[in-house]
Amino acid sequence: MGRRMMELHYPEDATPLSRDEVDGLILTHITTRAELDRWEQDNINEAIAWLDKQKPKDILNEDFMLKLHKRMFEKVWKWAGCLRQKDKNIGVPWSRISIDLKIFCDDVKFWIKDKTYPPDEIGIRFHHRLVSIHPFPNGNGRHARLLTDLLIENVLGQPRLTWGRVNLTKAGDPRDRYMKALHAADHFDYEPLLVFARL
């Protein structure tokens, strides 16, 4: 007899995990979304403490992005730090992830060197594009927000973004506003995301 299937209820706009991705859960005692959220947040807090000590600046590369995702979720998911191997309801085809990450990182390096946009706009464009690539099975929004904060603070020398000062993993008005701002950025309107990120 297999272990009990975890009951996951996703916000309407979330990316569901496939059955084999759910099977990658390390903590087999977890059976509810609330328990999963708590364990993931504990792991993320450890990753943040590690980042605060390291203060990394060489972050615009696939290796660091994978390392950060692993640090954020390695105590919860076996696939932490691994690129997704399936297409999802969002993101580039899984076979293009590495290529698109390389192009994306090169573009951001150019924006910084050339001062193409103000620092906050570089951060917002960075965040939106990373979410759009959607490199991992799950945790993409949290990973992209944390990586954006590293870019803003450690590379661009600006204060971290506030992201509405709320937990964006839970359904509700703040998440709805965040998702609408991301959708506006899909159409090259970055202003709503800029405003939301500095609330």
Taking residues 183-196, what's their average pLDDT? Answer: 96
Neighbours of 163 (CB within 10 A): 21
Percent of all residues in the chain with a pLDDT value above 70, rounded to a whole number: 92
Task: Give the pLDDT score at 151.
Answer: 97
Residue 149 lies in a domain: yes
Domain, as residue range, for 131: 19-197
Q: At residue 9, does pLDDT exceed 90? A: no
Residue 52 lies in a domain: yes
CA 55 to CA 62: how far, in whole Å?
18
- Within 13 Å, how many C-alpha atoms sit on residue 8's CB side? 20
Q: What end-to-end distance do the CA atoms of the chain give, in Å?
A: 49
pLDDT band at 88 (very low <50, low <70, confident <90, very high): very high
Residue 14 lies in a domain: no
Q: Three-state DSSP class for 162?
A: coil
CATH number for the domain that contains residue 143: 1.10.3290.10
When the pLDDT of each residue in the chain is averaged and rounded to a whole number, the result is 90
Task: Give the pLDDT score at 66.
Answer: 98
Q: Three-state DSSP class for 7?
A: strand
Sign of CA dihedral 189, 64, 119, 142: positive
CA 11 to CA 14: how far, in whole Å?
5
Residue 92 lies in a domain: yes
Residue 1 lies in a domain: no
Query: What total of structural domains would you count in the chain?
Result: 1
Q: Mean pLDDT: which of 6-15, 74-83, 157-166, 174-183 is highest?
A: 74-83
Task: Give the pLDDT score at 41.
Answer: 94
Task: Say which range, 23-32, 85-94, 101-110, 179-188, has the weakest mean pLDDT.
Answer: 23-32
- Within 13 Å, how many C-alpha atoms sit on residue 135's CB side? 28
Residue 2 lies in a domain: no
pLDDT band at 6 (very low <50, low <70, confident <90, very high): low
Q: At residue 4, does pLDDT exceed 60? A: no
Taking residues 156-171, what's their average pLDDT? Answer: 83
Residue 35 lies in a domain: yes
Q: Summarize pLDDT for 21-46 with one digit per residue, the tens.
A: 888 899 888 888 888 889 999 999 99
Please give the DSSP secondary-structure letter assigned to residue 152.
Answer: I
Residue 65 lies in a domain: yes
Please give the DSSP secondary-structure letter assigned to residue 77.
Answer: B
Task: Give the pLDDT score at 3.
Answer: 45
Q: At residue 58, does pLDDT exceed 60? A: yes
Neighbours of 197 (CB within 10 A): 23
Q: Summarize pLDDT for 127-141 with one digit per residue, the tens.
A: 999 999 999 999 999
